[in-house]
Amino acid sequence: MKLLQRRAKSRAKDSSSANVLSERMNSYQNMLWTRWQALPPRDQVALGILLVFLLLFVGGYGGYSVHQAAKDSKSDYQEQVADYFWLRTQAGNINSNALSAANTQSGDAEMPPASSVSSLLNASSINNAQVVAAGDAVQLSFTHPSQAVVSAALGKLEQQGWQFTQLSMQQDLATKAIQVQATVVS
């Protein structure tokens, strides 16, 4: 019961403060109206034109600024979408050495260079490649019938950060197979 009485009192206070505010607004409007009536007709027209001009200027500038903000937001969004799709297309060009360094820092074990080259060649459909570690360098030798596959495999090695110090490619005239012998360093 006390709770209901408190609510009734708070509502009465809210309605009385609303009434006070309403009365103040009415008195202010009445004062402005009487002052407007006291002005000569020429000044009323001048003030009316000035008010219309200010409303058009403020409204126009406000609309223009909202339009510019929307246009800038749209161009920022389109730029971010373009960046996203560019990054997706560049996913194959990520340097494996940087990835392996990041993996080493995060606690993953780094693959030996010969195993890394061998797995890259296997992923490129080159099986039975001979891969031998020779100090910091890796020597590789393989034969494959497709020049496109050989080019793609060598390109992947370069993309992964391997540099060719020696490269020898020969094509067998009878079988048309390409024999590759190379030395790469990371």
Cβ neighbours of 160 (radius 10 Å): 19
- pLDDT tier at 100 (50, 70, 90 boundaries)? low
CATH C-level class of 112-185: alpha beta
Cβ neighbours of 113 (radius 10 Å): 19
Q: Are 120 and 154 in contact (CB under 8 A)?
A: no
- pLDDT tier at 99 (50, 70, 90 boundaries)? low
DSSP letter at 90 equals: T
Q: What share of the chain has pLDDT > 70, as a percent?
A: 81
For tokens 């061998």, name the residue. 118
Q: Return the CA Rg of the chain.
A: 40
User: For residue range 10-48, what is the model confidence (pLDDT) as tens digits?
Assistant: 665 666 677 888 999 999 999 999 999 999 999 999 999
Question: What residue spans define the domains of the chain?
Answer: 2-88, 112-185
Give counts: helices (H), strands (E), the chain.
Answer: 5, 4
By the 10 Å C-beta count (0-12 exposed, 13-18 middle, 19+ buried), 43 is classed as exposed
Q: What's the whole-model pTM score?
A: 0.41
